[in-house]
């Protein structure tokens, strides 16, 4: 889990540097060692998407967004459950069930926050009643 934690930090700081996940994957391979190429790419992609999603959420909530639209990247690798979630609206405070964990436990999460997910949230803004 050390590798994942490090990757999470790099992904978060990489956001502000405009680093792509490929750069972060390279860094994981170089600095952590014992990680295969495909594993490094997978970790980097997951952590980059998660960091971006968290960043979008934080920024949107600051300016009063309460909901978002789930978007997939729309290719064949999108998992079926996420295809169902495509273009649906969710509250930031109530992430939808987007995966099933060990033993059939439902996993609730925002787009981009589960393993290897490339989905992304589009924040919604409503005019407040005057
Ligand atoms: Zn997804």
User: How many domains would you assign to the chain?
Assistant: 1
Is residue 78 domain-resident? yes
How much distance in Å is there from the Cα of 100 to the middle of ligand 1?
13
CA dist list (Å): 46 to 69, 88, 89: 20, 22, 22
Give per-residue pLDDT as tens, 50-80: 999 999 999 999 999 999 999 999 999 999 9
| pLDDT exceeds 50 at position 93 | yes
- The predicted model gives 74-95 an average pLDDT of 96
Is residue 129 domain-resident? no
Report DSSP state, residue 128.
P
How much distance in Å is there from the Cα of 78 to the middle of ligand 1?
6
Is residue 39 domain-resident? yes
Domain range for 99 is 2-124
Give per-residue pLDDT as tens, 27-58: 989 988 888 999 999 888 888 889 999 999 99
| pLDDT exceeds 90 at position 130 | no
The pLDDT of residue 19? 76
């Amino acid at each position: 889990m050390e590798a994942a934690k490090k990757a999470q930090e790099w992904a978060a700081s990489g956001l502000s540097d405009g680093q792509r996940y490929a750069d972060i994957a390279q860094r994981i391979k170089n600095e952590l060692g014992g990680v295969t190429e495909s594993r490094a790419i997978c970790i980097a992609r997951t952590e980059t998407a998660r960091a971006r999603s968290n960043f979008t959420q934080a920024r949107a909530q600051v300016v009063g967004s309460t909901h978002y639209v789930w978007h997939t990247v729309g290719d064949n690798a999108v998992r079926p459950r996420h295809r169902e979630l495509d273009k649906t609206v969710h509250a930031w405070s109530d992430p939808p069930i987007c995966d099933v964990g060990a033993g059939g436990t439902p996993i609730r999460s925002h787009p981009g926050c589960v393993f290897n997910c490339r989905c992304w949230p589009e924040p919604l803004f409503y005019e407040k009643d005057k």
